[in-house]
Amino acid sequence: MEDLNINVVDMHTGGEPLRIIVSGYPTVIGDTILEKRAYVKANLDHLRKFLMFEPRGHFDMFGALPVEPDVAEADAAFLFMHNEGYPTMCGHAVIALGRYCVDQGIVEYKEPETEVKIQCPCGLVKAFVTCKDGCTDTVRFQSVPAFVVETNLMIQLQANHEIKVDISYGGAFYVFVNIDDLDLHYSNIDGLKNACREIKAAVTKQVTISHPDNISLNFIYGVIFTKQCPNEDKILELCIFADQQLDRSPCGSGVTAMMALLHHKGLVSLEKQKTFENPLTHSKFLSKVINTTKCGDKAAVVVEVAGNGYYTGKSTFTSEKKDRLNSGFLLV
């Protein structure tokens, strides 16, 4: 591997990490953000592993790479990366990046709120950053059109165990499962990861995943294990995505997809706010459906998700040619 010197800013949203690449990355080639995504996958994937994997990162690391936007109204554009590759959307990242874009002067600071238009591989996402006394704070973002694919789909797991699942899109496609149907507890992470593998495989066999506008989005990104809290207007969400990566936040794009599902089922009306909580970290996002729309010929909604991103540090990552672990590794 060539000598490297890559500067990053680290943040987290609800405990879920975000490593923002600041400098030292090669030029990313492509006319569109999806062409840029394809380019880094084909030509620069060793740098994803360099930054996301051990010894500089870990199995559940997440990153954001700034690229030139190709949408005229966008203030900034980012590619996302994790242990498996390059996802199309990331809500927790958008929340952190909203603050970052204002704090870095990419967008001019304005009180009481600054709008930041971020181009993601799934489309343009508008973020709104609370600004007071010279400081940035809570960020809310408005999703790309979110829609439902399937409800009450019965799938067969091992040992003749049949469960009911829903499938919805919120920037990526998710399968939703009531955790009580699995006889598992949120603390049983290994059990949930095994269930995730089975569920994704079963759904992929039964359902053709298709986005109306973009075939590069046609895959199940994650499985979300949910639970409605009794006597509370709160939903627990634990998301396992990519290559069995465990989300520390309630999952921003997963919350978006869940709100589309709740609206489709008549369980939430426009502007009705819901609280989503990660059952392990207890971090929370607030969300509501703010509008109805279309995605191709599908009925869809625009969802708002709010949370807080925080800075955790700055680093310069280097390489030494004699280091045989220089390129990165994972212990699974």
Helix (H, G, I), strand (E, B) or coil at 142: strand
Q: Which residue of the set 90, 101, 251, 295 is catalytic?
A: 90
In contact, 166 and 148? CB cutoff 8 Å = yes
Q: Is 90 annotated as catalytic?
A: yes
**Diameter over CA atoms, the chain:** 60
In whole angstroms, give the CA distance from residue 326 to residue 309: 30
In whole angstroms, give the CA distance from residue 160 to residue 32: 46
Q: For 21, left (φ over 0), alpha (ψ -120 to 50), or beta?
A: beta
Residue type, 108: E
In whole angstroms, give the CA distance from residue 145 to residue 122: 10
3-state secondary structure the chain: CCCCEEEEEEEEECCEEEEEEEECCCCCCCCCHHHHHHHHHHHCHHHHHHHHCECCCCCCCCEEEEECCCCCCCCEEEEEECCCCCCCCCHHHHHHHHHHHHHCCCCCCCCCEEEEEEEECCEEEEEEEEEECCEEEEEEEECCCEEEEEEEEEEEEHHHEEEEEEEEECCCEEEEEEHHHHCCCCCCHHHHHHHHHHHHHHHHHHCCCCCCCCHHHCCEEEEEEEEECCCCCEEEEEEEECCCEECCCCCHHHHHHHHHHHHHCCCCCCCCCEEEECCCCCCEEEEEEEEEEEECCEEEEEEEEEECEEEEEEEEEECCCCCCCCCCECCC
Active site residues: 90
